[in-house]
Amino acid sequence: MIADRQARIAASLDSVHEALRFVHRELDHVASDPQRWRWISVGAVIALQGALVAALSGYETAEEGDVVDPSYPERYAPVTLLLRRARSTDYLNPPERLVLTGAAARRIEQVIAFRNGVVHGTSPDIPGYSESIHGPFRETFSAIRHVLLVHPAFDPGPHGLVTALIADQLAAISRRLVSDG
């Protein structure tokens, strides 16, 4: 857990960038190996968690407690809790707050659940799954785009290079998900 807010934002953005690079590399091979959707889900959730940590750390009034796991204060909160906080008026104001329809939230939760299944060894078989997963992944990457690029809660100035790299990765991933889906 990084206590300094600015250092936490910078580290989170670096994490998002690396996770998106990983997702992009895996997407290059998913047509020939659908099992790679498993790893794409892992990278997508890492990117989402990093994006939410950066967003929830963005305001000058943000506290370390905004991103910690109440059960394990030395860890970041689980992505589902961070997602709830990013949607809450208690943590972010418009336009930074993540506004999702119920259906959009469920699509993102599908990706999180799939990732959890991969990590815990309970994920379903993949054949046929890739056709139905494009929408949930697009929703997940849209949420990342919103909190990091469209309406960041942090000052993007000091993070111009990494946010530009994130924007490039998101654009490439989005193009791939549209062309393949």
Is residue 48 within 8 Å of 12, Cβ to Cβ?
no
Amino acid in position 139: E
> Which pLDDT score, from 0 to 100, does residue 127 have?
45
> Which pLDDT score, from 0 to 100, does residue 119 have?
85
In this prediction the pTM is 0.93
128: left (phi over 0), alpha (psi -120 to 50) or beta: left
> Which pLDDT score, from 0 to 100, does residue 128 have?
47
> Which pLDDT score, from 0 to 100, does residue 180 have?
63
**Buried/exposed 121-131: b ≥16 CB within 10 Å, e otherwise:** eebeebeeebe
> Which pLDDT score, from 0 to 100, does residue 123 have?
67
How many domains is the chain built from? 1
Which residue range is the domain that position 80 belongs to? 5-180
> Which pLDDT score, from 0 to 100, does residue 154 have?
97
Enumerate the H helices of the chain as residue ranges: 5-27, 36-56, 79-86, 102-120, 129-145, 160-180
Name residues of the chain where pLDDT drops below 70. Answer: 123-131, 180-181
Name the residue among 58, 51, 54 with its Cα closest to residue 140. 51
Enumerate the H helices of 57-93 as residue ranges: 79-86
